[in-house]
Structure 1
């Protein structure tokens, strides 16, 4: 009798599971990702499309530039209207921003997540509702998106590490690292790549601090690092604003001997390329915003009715004083 009861329970549970699957609820309740027709929202060149762009914050110049690049590229596609939201480094606000875009039934979601884990579920929710999703720069967990666009952060970190090993400290030495926001994927990847790049050399990372991607925080953390480790020779900062903040802290401490390397290389007067050209940084590493590429992906999905690759890797380049002026001019053409 007991075995019969167990069998009935099992059959009932299986039936409930099948009914839930038929109703299309299992992907949201169990974390599964629904297969998506990449051209479902495409109505061709005669359609009108609303795009929601959820930005992690606008405190970083890089993110301001990303939004500007999206705005400029979208301005050339008459079918597009882009609505922007600034999460201001607040995961819960970014979740709310994406929920709002879902409620508005945008035709496509663009997002640069503040942190991966807290944004994964809401992005998956949008994707499972049939909204194409373009993820920029920072990743989410899993694969609930149409395309990811960004440079290879491990490669960029490795490129920076190799520059330290070959040029900044070929004889070795002590350095500090100023990381970006710990929960963001570029922070972990740029750290791993950098360690790969200096592997086998006598360079020692004596301390690491979280600079939250911001110049003012980088300056504060560098001030404390200098007091704790006065014998360092150089600084690896995971973006240019933090590198510039560290530079200011070093200047205030009369440490004109220190060397600084950053990442981003924005081609603007206050960006990393000019900082290299003017001698504040020894080098930076180009990290394209992907804004134009995001709009091109949206155009393919919504206007051209074409699929897009799951991942699009943007190219980077080491910027030193030897090539800074040429790269700045090239990136500002047109």
Structure 2
């Protein structure tokens, strides 16, 4: 069955104005992946993309990856909402999508626990749910796509232990938003990675909530409390760049080493920061946007009933030696 919809303008803060498209229902209530009643080619599908926070460059690239990939699939229309790092707003955004009759939900949760209930609600209504990047609690969703944050954090820790600070040193950690799964997992992995070098000491940990400007202010305070810092392990590249700016203002940017995570192949991303010498290393954390749309196509267009519950995206370590090559390989434009 096919319905008409009014045109929808995709904005950073989206107000939906469309009527419902093809409703995707569960078959017998077993899972949210069986769209056999309404799936198929030649139909129109409305996809709600609930983003945690468009202020982060990583999430802007993720949105672009989702919307660009969707344009290549006939019948796909994506509407993006921005929770602006507000859990209650993200819950409301998803509720709004549900009231408009979306056919599939893609969500990158701001925090796991507060978003678990509304994700389950969508899933229980028979709407396929793809959880992207950050997890929710439980397994009431169709599929999760994201990197292995423990493994990425461990790779960063091993880089510190063996290459960056082989003789040991004092490290401060600038972490992501408390309650978000990548922050906890990147902290855990890093500690596992540096365990082989007992001379490395984490002397302070503080959150900057994934944001560059907060990374700068946090680092400014850390420098006052910890004047003998050897390195900064930041949970993403913008916070690492903010920390670098604070160190530069204090005249310590050459005495301290900085690393981040994300490695976005854009001019303002971490790969270029490594290439230009501000960061010693970054670790790729793919957005998963294209993979999410590929999976949505399998569910809605190809009528695939059994899709992988979890897809782990690959990573790579990027230093000055391979930064230029990695930028090109990951699709960066000069």
Scaled by the length of structure 1, the TM-score of the pair is 0.89
Q: Give the alignment partner of residue 261 of structure 1, picking from 259, 262, 272.
A: 259
Matching residue of 1:313 = 312
Matching residue of 1:111 = 107
Matching residue of 2:34 = 39
Alignment check: 8 A CA contact 2:39 2:299 kept: no
Matching residue of 1:328 = 327
Q: Distance in 2 between matches of 1:168 and 1:46?
A: 54
Return 5+ residue gaps in structure 2 as ranges: 1-28
Matching residue of 2:237 = 240
Q: CA deviation at 1:37?
A: 5.1
Matching residue of 1:24 = none
Scaled by the length of structure 2, the TM-score of the pair is 0.89
Q: Distance in 2 between matches of 1:291 and 1:40?
A: 21
Matching residue of 2:53 = 57
Q: Distance in 1 between matches of 2:191 and 2:330?
A: 29
RMSD (CA atoms): 1.1
Map 1:119-130 → 2, pairs under 5 A: 119-130=115-126
Alignment check: 8 A CA contact 2:161 2:196 kept: no
Q: Distance in 2 between matches of 1:248 and 1:186?
A: 24
Q: Distance in 2 between matches of 1:82 and 1:69?
A: 11
Map 1:163-182 → 2, pairs under 5 A: 163-182=159-178
Q: Distance in 2 between matches of 1:140 and 1:118?
A: 8
Q: CA deviation at 1:39?
A: 2.4
**Cα deviation code 1:240-265 (max 9, x no counterpart):** 00000000000001112100010000
Kindly indicate whether residue 98 of structure 2 is the aligned counterpart of residue 96 of structure 1.
Answer: no
* Structure showing the higher helix proportion among its residues: 1
Structure 1 runs of 4+ aligned residues shifted over 4 Å read: none
Paired residues in the alignment total 301
Matching residue of 2:276 = 278
Map 1:294-313 → 2, pairs under 5 A: 294-306=292-304, 307-313=306-312
Kindly indicate whether residue 216 of structure 2 is the aligned counterpart of residue 219 of structure 1.
Answer: yes
Q: Distance in 2 between matches of 1:44 and 1:117?
A: 34
Q: CA deviation at 1:35?
A: 2.5
Larger Rg: 1
Matching residue of 1:155 = 151
Q: Distance in 2 between matches of 1:281 and 1:134?
A: 33
Alignment check: 8 A CA contact 2:145 2:292 kept: yes
**Cα deviation code 1:288-320 (max 9, x no counterpart):** 000000000000000001131000000000000
Q: Distance in 2 between matches of 1:43 and 1:246?
A: 48
**Cα deviation code 1:15-59 (max 9, x no counterpart):** xxxxxxxxxxxxxxxxxxx62152226421121100000000111
Which secondary structure does the structure 2 equivalent of 1:279 belong to? Answer: coil
Q: CA deviation at 1:200?
A: 2.9
Q: Distance in 2 between matches of 1:279 and 1:265?
A: 14
**Cα deviation code 1:201-249 (max 9, x no counterpart):** 1100000010100000000000000100011100000000000000000
Which secondary structure does the structure 1 equivalent of 2:217 belong to? Answer: helix
Return 5+ residue gaps in structure 1 as ranges: 1-33
Kindly indicate whether residue 202 of structure 2 is the aligned counterpart of residue 205 of structure 1.
Answer: yes
